[in-house]
Structure formats: structure tokens, C-alpha cells
Structure 1
Amino acid sequence: MALRRSKRRATPVEGVEGDPGWAVELRGVRRQYGKGGAAVHALRGIDLRLPRGSFTAVMGPSGSGKSTFLQCAAGLDRPTDGSVRLGGTEITGMSENKLTELRRARLGFVFQAFNLLPSLTVEQNVVLPMRLAGRRPDHRRAEELLGQVGLAGKGRRRPGELSGGQQQRVAIARALVTRPDVVFADEPTGALDTTTAAEVLALLRNAVDGLGATVVMVTHDPGAAAYADQVLFLADGGIVDALTGATAGQIASRMTALTARPAAYAGMAA
């Protein structure tokens, strides 16, 4: 399948003020768990800007900091040091209430486990972020999105009546319903078969190219990462490499090199 990729890509931070043209900005972000000799340095100083309308995949060996990176970037975890901006808004010092409001109104999330509420209909699941944000549910918007993800006419069904791939499509529609600044996806195809995974990834790709969404996806699958504009590689808590417009084979080769020579890459991350 030929993929149309945005030409936008991540750039290093150069000390400029927050710009709403950037979807995500991380400056000197460090995350440490514990203290003293038992301290774990999950992130060791991440400097990064991601433009609006881009698709970024994040990869790395187990323990490289991928999940912590996603959680800090999405405001689900607070960095020990550094700052995070989403859509030009500084979120690092926000109160938990304000941060919750921002996540509900301006961010979308897609997880491996779907996280749909089984007691709600498909349409009710899709408009749930609007309700949580204190907005009137836009049923026309929900119907439009369900049509775009191939679920037209299924709004009154329950999640349990759908296949795994269909449930993930509902999760994508839910993530897009508020027109968020960024959609964060954590292993969104991990529970799907190869064919269904490709369909879901094509939907995320279309959300970027057709709807102007910004997607940041953590994945272990080079095939999934190949749908992105750029792949960032983490090792030992730092971004150590990047590929733009790469094939699955090129991404797999880079991951193999990273896994085989972690010490060399760790030196780059320090």
C-alpha cells in the first residue's frame, strides 16, 4: 500500500518561546523514579518539537523510556525536570484539575486495550470525551466519524457486539471527536491481527493526511512505525536516532542495530 506522508517532522528545540504551531514541545524533560543509588532515570533530558499535522512513531528496546515519554508528553505523568507544551500551552505546572480539563478537551487517546465502556453504545462511547469536557454531545460529528472509520450504522450497538478491530475503530473515532491538538496512541495494534492492524494504521494515517490530526504513537512493530512520517528511537531515556519516510525493513534494521549496540547509543543519549 502506498502511503502519503506529511513532510513535517520533529525538530530539535532551539530555545524559542512556545509556538501554537507546534503540537508538542518537550524541553529538557527528565523523569526520575526513586532517589540515591536506587534511582531509575527513565528520561534523561528530552528536547523535541513535533509540528501539527504530523505522524510520529516512537520505538526502542524494553526499558528505553517509551511509555514514560508518552505519559509525560500527554500530561499523564509529571517530569522531574523540564517543561512540556501542548499546542503552545505550558502544562508542566498546571494543577491536576486544569490538566484533567485540558486532556479532556484537547487530547485524544488510543490504547491497545481499547478502553471502551461496555454498558454504553458505540455512539455514546464516541461522544464520551465531549460529556466529560462539559460540552453538549455532537451526535452528527460522532456519526460522521463512525462513517469515516467504516462503522456507519453501528452507533447503537454495544462494544461487545463488535470485533477487536471494530472496537479499535470506535476508539479512534472517540479520540478524534473533540478535534484534539494531539492523539496519543500506545501500542494501538498490539491486540490485533496483521490485516486488521493495517486497516487501523491506515485510519490513523488518514486522520493526519485527511483531517489534519497530529498523532504520536508508541509501537514495537516496524511495520506499524512505517506508517509514520518520522520514527524516533529511544535508548536509556534519550532520543538517540531518527528516520524519516522509512520502510519497515529500514526501521527493523535500525532497531536491530540499536538492540545489538545499546551502550554506543546510550552514550549519545547522555
Structure 2
Amino acid sequence: MGWRGTRRPNGRKAATGTGEWAVELHGVRRRYGRGSGAVDALRGIDLALPHGSFTAVMGPSGSGKSTFLQCAAGLDRPDAGSVRLGGTEITDMSENKLTALRRTRLGFVFQAFNLLPSLTVEQNVLLPMRLAGVRADRARAREVLAQVGLDRHAQRRPGQLSGGQQQRVAIARALVTRPDVIFADEPTGALDTGTATEILTLLRRAVDELGATVTMVTHDPTAAGYADRVLFLADGAFAGHLPRTTPDRIAARLAELTARPGPAAGAGYRPAMAHAQGAGA
């Protein structure tokens, strides 16, 4: 599809300090509710993910996957611990500053494409720039639309596109500001198998050819097979990882976690394991 670019195409240098990491969570805890009904969704998460990586996060239902993504992306605040994105501490950042950071330095791709039906494809792609109060760069919009194979559809509206095409628009929108991280939440959950393959291939190529960083929550072992590494959550704690491997092996590990009674082992999963290239834990 004419993908072009180099690692970190925006020329942005890593932030100072620990900015070599795209995403960092240290001792992150999140509890919902009070008293006997309280639920510990995250129980002390330690994690560091490098720039230019594709990470899948999996786990049984209720394992904390969605809470992890929300805390990592600044959509929810942890009760304890710290979160850094591109070297920037966001844990205690004001809501206004956090909103501005999400609009300029993060990209989002969701299962429900979240496109505005009254806007054209191009206008949807440019929306993060407009919301951030910066000049809408139409040349940049055309560039990312060409990268996802939709440059000829720029003036159409979402309702005129297939589901797969709408998700391509969402990916273009996520790429347009050259974000530090793209967070994807079940991005292929509403798509058929063939279209899902196309979307996952686009995300993979965004990492390999454009230097993007993708963190994807998924329940699908096939989708997770596109990632550089798969991290497993169970009962709010990390329970191991696998380097890039087959969907069958991923499914087998997930089945083991689903069958495991009680709190998961691996609550002390350390950041260094997040970029391990050896055998899975």
C-alpha cells in the first residue's frame, strides 16, 4: 500500500530520563468499590515497553486487561503507582494537560470505530489535530490515508464505507499526529476474519515500517500472533509472557490461565521481562 517512512518518522527524540521507554507502569494498582465488595483490578503492575514495539495484552475475562489499557493511556487514574508515556509522568497530571497529551501524543483504535458520521473521512482523520488546536495538515491526512489504502475515499463519509474500511480510517486517525503510542482495544472484534487480517497487517507494518509503538488488548490468539510479545494478565497481575509465536501456543497459555484457580502467580513481573526475546515465562 505504499508504506514509507523510517523509524520514528516524526524525528522526535526520546524524552529525557527514562524516555527510552514508550510506556512505563511502576507499582500500578487500581481498586473499584469499597469494603467487602471491592475489586482489585490491578495489583501492582510493573512494566516497560520500548519504542517501535508491538505488544499484545491477553488474559481471562476479568483479568484486568481493560483497566490496564485505561490506566496506561491516561483514561483512568491508578490508586497507587506511576505511569509514564514517552518519558512523561502522567499520574498526577491535571485533566486539561492530560487531555492535551492524549490528543497530540497518543493514538486510539477501538472495536467500535468511533468515527463521526457527519464528517468526511479526511475530516475524521484530521480531528485529533483540530481538537488539539493545531493547524489541520491536509497533506499529512492524505499521506496516512494513502498508507492505509484509502486516499481515494477522503471525501466519502463513514456510512459509505465497509467495516474494514472504517477501521482503516481509525488507524489513519491514530497515526496522523505521529503519536508516541497507539493503544488498540479489541481492534478486530467487530470484523470478519479476512478483514481482521488486513487490519492486523496494517498495525504490524505501522510498527515495522513507520516505527510506531502499538499496545493492543485482545482476546484473540490469532490477533496476538502479530505482536512482538504477548503479555498475560490474570487476577490483576502479570502472569508471564511469550515472544512472538503461533496462535496455538498463545491459546494454550491462555487456557492454562483461565483454568488456574485463585490469584495468579507472577505479580512481581518485572519491566525487564517486557522486552525479553527469549523463551516465554
Same fold (TM over 0.5): yes
Partner of 2:158: 159
The amino acid across from 1:103 in the alignment is R
Partner of 2:249: 250
Question: What secondary structure is seen at the aligned counterpart in 1 of 2:264?
Answer: helix
The amino acid across from 1:79 in the alignment is P
Distance 2:151 2:19 in 1: 34
The amino acid across from 1:57 in the alignment is A
Partner of 2:68: 69
Deviations 1:169-228 (A, max 9, x none): 000000000000000000000000000000000000011001100000000000000000
Partner of 1:12: none
* 1:269 Cα offset (Å): 2.8
Runs ≥4 in structure 1, deviation > 4 angstroms?
none
8 Å CA contact 1:18, 1:85 repeated in 2 = no
> Where does 1:220-259 land on structure 2 (aligned, <5 Å)?
220-259=219-258
8 Å CA contact 2:184, 2:217 repeated in 1 = yes
8 Å CA contact 2:28, 2:44 repeated in 1 = yes
Question: What secondary structure is seen at the aligned counterpart in 1 of 2:61?
Answer: coil
Partner of 2:267: 269
Judging changes above 3 Å, is the alpha-carbon distance between structure 1 residues 178 and 27 closer, same or farther for their aligned structure 2 residues? same
Identical columns (%) = 75
Partner of 2:203: 204
Deviations 1:109-160 (A, max 9, x none): 0000000000000000001000111110111111111111011210000000
Distance 1:268 1:152 in 2: 46
Partner of 2:51: 52
Distance 2:266 2:132 in 1: 41
Distance 2:265 2:134 in 1: 48
Partner of 1:41: 40
Structure 2 runs not aligned, ≥5 long = 1-15, 269-281
Taking only aligned residues, the RMSD between alpha carbons, in angstroms, comes to 1.1
Q: What TM-score does the superposition give when structure 1 sets the normalisation length?
A: 0.92
The amino acid across from 1:44 in the alignment is R
8 Å CA contact 1:44, 1:269 repeated in 2 = yes
> Where does 1:1-270 land on structure 2 (aligned, <5 Å)?
18-263=17-262, 266-269=264-267
Structure 1 runs not aligned, ≥5 long = 1-16
8 Å CA contact 2:45, 2:267 repeated in 1 = no
The amino acid across from 1:119 in the alignment is S
Distance 2:213 2:254 in 1: 24
